[in-house]
Amino acid sequence: ETGVTQTPRHLVMGMTNKKSLKCEQHLGHNAMYWYKQSAKKPLELMFVYNFKEQTENNSVPSRFSPECPNSSHLFLHLHTLQPEDSALYLCASSQRLGANTGELFFGEGSRLTVL
Amino acid sequence: SQQGEEDPQALSIQEGENATMNCSYKTSINNLQWYRQNSGRGLVHLILIRSNEREKHSGRLRVTLDTSKKSSSLLITASRAADTASYFCATDTPLVFGKGTRLSVIA
């Protein structure tokens, strides 16, 4: 138990569906992250939020839409995805964001399959 | 953001042997971190070494950092089957990871 909870753990969706991934952290951290992990590729940093404000968007397609209503919750809204978007989506949090970010705490991930 | 690159990509050893993984990076860092990932699970933080440190220990783990060569190594001593996982290094802020080293420890 890392203190970061992701739901759902598994999701299968069609290309025309709209779904959301949820991440909640119980650690009192101020920074939250979405990473994408595809087979045989490095973890890709998608979005970063610091004190609810988005600080980084690594050229992620608009079919992925993040939302951070408060420092404890992070969502990833999905719509009109492609089969190549199938991957493990990992949420993480850290106490702060900056020159000495320190340890990241990861959730168990949401395994997404796009048919 | 820079990326850490791990080497080798895959490593297979017998239980009880030591495992060494290497990480190279490109520019100056404040610290370097190592993480472990069991198949299909989230990453777990193992150890953080600051740029002014050369070596750090945690249980069976030993991490070294050579800032002049922009490299780090992770040594797992007396490996166990339960150490089978992928290992990643990460640098910079926000953290950017490489492809990792897949370690298999055979009982």
* Mean pLDDT across chain A: 93
pLDDT tier at B2, thresholds 50, 70, 90: low
Q: Write down the pLDDT at residue B46.
A: 97
Q: How far apart are CA B12 and CA B103, in angstroms?
A: 6
- Least-confidence region, from A17-26, A53-62, B9-18: A53-62
Q: Which of A27, A35, A43, A110 is most worth mutating to test chain B (most B CB atoms within 10 A of its CB)?
A: A43
- Encoded amino acid at A54, one letter: Q
Residue A27 scores a pLDDT above 80:
yes
Percent of chain B with pLDDT over 70: 96
pLDDT tier at B28, thresholds 50, 70, 90: confident
List pLDDT tens digits, range B81-94. Answer: 999 999 999 987 67
- Which residues in chain B are contacts of A106 at CB distance < 8 A? 42-44
Q: Answer with the residue of higher pLDDT: A105 or A56.
A: A105
User: Which DSSP letter does residue A86 get?
Assistant: -
Q: How far apart are CA A27 and CA A2, in angstroms?
A: 9
- Which residues in chain B are contacts of A108 at CB distance < 8 A? 41-42
Q: How far apart are CA A34 and CA A66, in angstroms?
A: 9
Q: Write down the pLDDT at residue A97.
A: 84
pLDDT, mean of residues B29-47: 93
Token readout for A107 is 């959730």
Residue A96 scores a pLDDT above 90:
no
pLDDT, mean of residues B35-53: 94
Residue B104 scores a pLDDT above 90:
yes
Residue B26 scores a pLDDT above 90:
no
- Encoded amino acid at B6, one letter: E
Q: Tell which A residues from 70 to 99 touch B, by Cβ distance under 8 Å.
A: 88, 90, 92, 97-99
- CA nearest neighbour of B89 among B28, B41, B46: B46
- CA nearest neighbour of A112 among A33, A27, A20, A25: A20
Q: How far apart are CA B96 and CA B7, in angstroms?
A: 16
Helix H, strand E, coil C: the string for chain B is: CCCCEEECCEEEEECCCCEEEEEECCCCCCEEEEEEECCCCCEEEEEEEECCCCEEEECCEEEEEECCCCEEEEEECCCCHHHCEEEEEEECCCCEECCCEEEEEEC
